[in-house]
Amino acid sequence: MIMGLIYIIKMLFIGGIMEFKIVVKALILDKNALLLVKRSKDDEYNPNELTVPGGFLDFGEKLNVAVKREVKEETNLEVEVQKINTAWSFIGKEKDVQIIGISFLCKLLTKEIKLNEELLSYKWININNYKDLNLPKWLIKEIEQIKVI
């Protein structure tokens, strides 16, 4: 007990708190079209940037459940999670958190999109015609890894 308390005190006052966060991303496909969303200007990681729906895994939550929840919260869509597309990680801006991400290919089940307040807009792009769209490098890598469902 005392050793655990000493460790916590050291982490808080000497080394800082370092943690892992797990992010899930949904690559939602409707035939050859991929759904992209534009984050708000206040987004912590991708302000005003085109991205795909996704967010943090809640403690105890299964990955596929987190994907479906994030998609529903952000777009009001329902999806079927098919398989993992990519996995990646990076250190957060404050250097106190490592983000571990997993993107999933998802099949679109419903079509009526209603964006939440975190998102500004959306658009569908053709996964065979994306190179002239000025997309972030990480998103290009994601698209290049897609094997059509």
Q: Residue 104 — pLDDT band, cuts 50, 70, 90?
A: very high
Instruction: Work out the percent of the chain whose per-residue pLDDT is above 90.
Output: 66
Q: Residue 103 — pLDDT band, cuts 50, 70, 90?
A: very high
Tokens found for residue 97: 């958190």
> Could you give the number of structural domains in the chain?
1
108 belongs to a structural domain: yes
13 belongs to a structural domain: no
| Type and span of the H or E element at 22 | strand 19-30
pLDDT (0 to 100) of residue 92? 78
7 belongs to a structural domain: no
4 belongs to a structural domain: no
82 belongs to a structural domain: yes
pLDDT (0 to 100) of residue 93? 74
Q: How many CB atoms lie within 10 A of CB 86?
A: 17
pLDDT exceeds cutoff 60 at 143: yes
Least confident residue range of 15-24, 31-40, 69-78, 97-106: 15-24
Domain extent at residue 89: 19-145
CA 121 to chain CA mean position, Å: 16
123 belongs to a structural domain: yes
Q: Report CA-CA distances (Å) from 98 to 89, 90, 95.
A: 7, 6, 8
What DSSP designation does 99 have?
A: E
- Tell me the whole-structure pTM to 2 decimals: 0.83
Tokens found for residue 12: 């808080």
pLDDT tens digits for range 42-97: 887 778 889 999 999 999 999 999 999 999 999 999 999 999 999 999 887 777 88
SS3 147: coil
37 belongs to a structural domain: yes
pLDDT (0 to 100) of residue 42? 87
Which CATH number does the domain housing residue 102 bear? 3.90.79.10
Count how many Cα atoms sit within 13 Å of the Cα of residue 120 in the half-sphere of its side chain. 12
CA gap 122, 93 in Å, rounded: 26
6 belongs to a structural domain: no
Let me know: does 40 contact 47? Beta carbons within 8 Å: yes
SS3 97: strand
